[in-house]
Amino acid sequence: MKNIVIFGAPGSGKGTQSDKLIEKYGFKHISTGDVLRDQIKRGTELGKTAKGFIDEGKLIPDELMVGILADVYDSFGKDHEGVIFDGFPRTIPQAEALKAMLAERGHKVAAMVELHVPDEELVKRLVLRGKVSGRSDDNEETIKKRLNVYHTQTQPLCDWYNKEGLFHSVDGLGDIDRIFGDVCEIIDSL
């Protein structure tokens, strides 16, 4: 079982690469952003809380996110190839909680793969995505806030995973299939 954290700023291509990984390796997939958007659509208490944070470009408090994580992970059962964590963890407490949650089950993260993309390109991609996604947070003002949150709260996880010996980075600029090839090389080496 290979549990993989696919990591990067908003717009770095985590969702695109996750879809391709699921198809190739049969991994299960947790996208915390998708989980939250689904909760908002269904009008749940969590969804109502999450909406305010998402629209502001802020992170949902760690304790709420960690609660969701174990439930989704356990819903996959035990008999699978591994799980892709997409959009989680986003803070050091989340990374610690993920490690503890997996350890309780005798599991671990096999690798963290960063998709490295410069900010100018991220803004371009997200503005373009906003035109088709209808996502309330894909507008220029919120994009800037999300990138700021990424650099201050999320990017320090590169160092955290490096210390764990799990950090890998891929150039996330350019052809999708070339990027995918680089990601697969890492996964196949695990």
Please enumerate in sequence order all residues whose Cβ is within 8 A of that of 113, keeping only pairs 6 or more positions apart, or say none. Answer: 4, 5, 6, 7, 168, 169, 170, 183, 186, 187
**What phi and psi, each to the nearest 5 degrees, are found at residue 19?**
-60, -40
Question: What is the Cα–Cα distance from 37 to 51, expressed in whole angstroms?
Answer: 8
Please select the residue that binds ligand AMP; options are 5, 6, 21, 60, rule is CB under 6 A. Answer: 60
Per-residue mark of binding to ligand AMP, 121-160 (x: CB under 6 A): ----------------x--------x--------------
Please select the residue that binds ligand AMP; options are 29, 32, 113, 147, rule is CB under 6 A. Answer: 32
Identify the CA nearest to 158 among candidates 91, 68, 100. 91
91 is in an annotated binding site: no
User: Looking at residue 153, what DSSP letter applies?
Assistant: I
Identify the CA nearest to 122 among candidates 153, 147, 95, 96. 147
Query: Quick one: 126 or 179, whose CB is closer to ligand AMP?
Result: 126
Query: Quick one: 33 or 172, whose CB is closer to ligand AMP?
Result: 33
Query: Quick one: 54 or 111, whose CB is closer to ligand AMP?
Result: 54
Please enumerate in sequence order all residues whose Cβ is within 8 A of that of 23, keeping only pairs 6 or more positions apart, or say none. Answer: none
Assess 36 for contact with ligand AMP (CB under 6 A): yes
Binding site: residue ranges? 11-16, 32, 37, 58-60, 87-90, 94, 129, 135, 146, 174
Footprint on this chain of ligand AMP (rule: CB under 6 A): 10, 32-33, 36, 53-54, 57-60, 65, 87-88, 90, 94, 137, 146
